[in-house]
Chain A
Amino acid sequence: MTDALIQPLRDAIVEMKIDETEDLCRKCLDASLSPIDILNNSLIPALDIVGTLFRDGDYFLPDVLMSVKAYNNCYTVLEPLLKGGDYKPRGTVLLGTVAGDIHEIGKNILLALLQGNGFDVIDLGIDVAAETFMEKARETNPDIIGMSALLSTTMPCMKEVIDLFTEAGIRDKYKFIIGGSPISQRFAEEIGADGYGEDAQAGVELAKSLMI
């Protein structure tokens, strides 16, 4: 009975059936499945599959966005029910594109996939100054701080952020992850980040691994 509802919902999210997922989700609730089970067994596995398809080059950005939309149609139904129960997000991520860089597409894909994998995400937007990362980190106490840059010219700003936290003596309170097309593992090591994600799904895997 459970699988008969849980799996079709998961598949519908993966297959981007944005008009069907909300109904399928309500059917799960009508069959007395708990919101948290639906989330853990349908919604999150679905986005895991989507992330893997994206990483492997089988899915492209529009596919990911459609799947996330299908996911969100369900999550909107579940969210009020989850808030009252034992549901805890996997972790909190503070996310932003570094100072001088106005590119948001990569950051937004990661944001969608992180949310789809049970993280709370605070989006600082684009062109985020090092001081803003610090101020918001103090305010919201995230587990992970994620920085994005598309330009080789703004990559050094990632180092400035980590240096600022180091100078303030609070570097070790957070995990720093970085990503963006010019970024490499070597660069991550060079600036003292905790990890680098080659693509959005790798970023999600990295965030998950840092929460263990």
Chain B
Amino acid sequence: MNELIKNLIKDGPVLTDGSWGSQMLKRGLKGREAPDSWNLTHPDAVEEVARGYVDAGSRIILTNTFGSNRYVLGKFDLADKVVEINTKGVEISKRAAQGKAYVFASMGPSGKMLVTKDVSRDDLKQAFEEQANAIAMAGADAIVVETMMDLNEALIAAEAAKQTGLPVIACLVFDSGKQKDRTMMGNTAEQAVDEFTKIGIDGIGANCGQGIEGFIPICAQMSAATDLPIWMKPNAGLPDMVAGEVIYNTTAQEFVRFVPDLVKVGASFIGGCCGTDQDFIRAIGKTLEGL
């Protein structure tokens, strides 16, 4: 096992961070803007989000680089800013962490589909390598490939991340199939474990897609199939719109009720995805301390 990952988990489950997008919306991000472009235009606001998680007790924070590959940025005419946006994203999180938390840089999907030949494997590989290399150059501690809906794309991204020499965690979205434990492409947790293990992944997991209850069986399936550390970032349930505002229905208190079960079935890293914030992270931290 990678030394950094081993050290992190040696005393029990590690608290990661919560969502970034909704925090930036609160600070004025508009729907039409690329959230990652704020690394260039509003670095102070991004740093505030990151620092909020450090203050809430996150031992790992991510970066505002989820969509910083040339395909997603290209939809905002920013395809030529991949290196700059990733570099700034890592720098901002490192500044916010001040040595109190590790910085795991986020890499999300391209938005293109291999299965319909929207994009070739080679082009995807190049795009993810471009992003991963920028992240590594900027000094991230590790890379998290996350919110992937297609195992094949996730593998390409994870391999691109691995070639930097940094430890890599890979996460898929499990929200499909009868039991909501398959990816949109039908991949199972076991298949994910098998394939990621082959490329020497340092941790595996799930994020987004559903609330924390649904993550417990997925985590159990993963721990039955591997000894790799497991990374879990559930949503705060599904959102609703009330009086013009998008709200998530699960409260931090409801969320943390399931945290002990998630730990019991083998989660090593716990945080939140969409709809979770600093309060969720504080509450998860408290729950973990009590275990």
Chain A complexes with chain B? yes
Instruction: List A residues at the B interface (Cβ < 8 Å).
Output: 56-58, 60-63, 65, 99-105, 108, 126-127, 151-157, 159, 181-182, 184, 186-187, 190-191
Residues on B with beta carbons closer than 8 Å to the beta carbon of A151: 21, 31
Contacting residues, chain A, for B275 (C-beta < 8 A): 152
Interface contact B177-A57, CB-CB below 8 Å = yes
Let me know if B186 and A60 touch, CB within 8 A: yes
- List which B72-96 residues lie within 8 A (CB) of chain A: 72, 75-76
Residue of B75, B116, B185, B241 touching A187 (CB-CB under 8 A)? B241
**CB-based contact B186/A99 at 8 Å:** no
Instruction: Give complex CA distance A205, B179 in Å.
Output: 22
- Given A61-B185, A62-B115, A65-B115, does the pair A102, B75 have CB atoms closer than 8 Å? yes
Interface residue tally on B, bucketed by range: 35 or more
List of B residues within 8 angstroms of A58 by Cβ:
178
Q: Can you show 24 pairs from A to B with CB atoms below 8 A apart?
A: A57-B178, A58-B178, A60-B177, A61-B186, A62-B115, A62-B186, A100-B31, A102-B75, A104-B111, A126-B75, A152-B248, A154-B31, A156-B31, A156-B241, A159-B244, A181-B209, A181-B238, A182-B238, A182-B239, A182-B246, A186-B241, A187-B240, A190-B240, A191-B241
A60-B176 Cα distance, complex, nearest whole Å? 8
Contacts of A157 in B (CB 8 A): 31
B residues 13-34 in Cβ contact with A at 8 Å: 21-22, 25, 29-33
Q: Is the CB of B242 closer than 8 A to any CB of chain A?
A: yes
A156 contacts which of B33, B238, B244 (Cβ < 8 Å)? B244
Question: Sorted from nearest, which 3 A-B pairs have the closest CB atoms?
Answer: A100-B31, A60-B186, A57-B178
Residues from chain B with Cβ under 8 Å of A103 in the complex: 111
- CB closest chain-A residue, reference B75: A102
A123 vs chain B, min Cβ distance (A): 14
Specify the chain A residue showing the minimal Cβ separation from B67: A102
When distances are taken between beta carbons in the complex, the residues of chain A under 8 Å from B138 are none
| Residue from B184, B239, B246 in contact with A60 in the complex, judged by beta carbons closer than 8 Å | B184
A190 to B238, CA, bound (A): 16
Shortest beta-carbon distance, B194 to chain A, in Å? 18
Closest chain A residue, CB of each to CB of B33: A100
Closest to B71 in A: A102
Q: Which residues of A contact B209 (CB under 8 A)?
A: 181
Whether, in the assembled complex, B274 has its beta carbon less than 8 Å from a beta carbon of chain A, the answer is yes
Contact yes or no, B176 A65, CB < 8 A: no
Docked pose: A127 CA to B75 CA in angstroms:
9
Select one of A62, A101, A191 contacting B31, CB under 8 A.
A101
CA distance A122 to B274 in the complex (A): 32
Known: A62-B185, A100-B30, A182-B238. A152 touches B244 (CB 8 A): no
Shortest distance in angstroms between B186's beta carbon and chain A's nearest beta carbon? 3
Within the complex, the shortest CB–CB distance from A58 to chain B, in Å, comes to 8
Check A152 against B111 for contact (C-beta < 8 Å).
Answer: no
Q: Is the CB of B25 within 8 A of A63?
A: no
Residues of B within 8 Å of A152, CB to CB, are 22, 239, 246, 248, 274-275
A65 neighbours in B (Cβ, 8 Å): 115-116
CB distance from B111 to the nearest CB of A (A): 6
Cα separation A187 to B243 with both chains bound (whole Å): 10
The answer, among B32, B115, B175, B241, for a CB contact under 8 Å with A181, is B175
Do residues A184 and B238 form an inter-chain contact, with CB atoms below 8 A? yes
B97 CB to nearest A CB, Å: 26
Interface flags for B263-289 (1: CB within 8 Å of A; 0: not) read 000000000001100000000000000
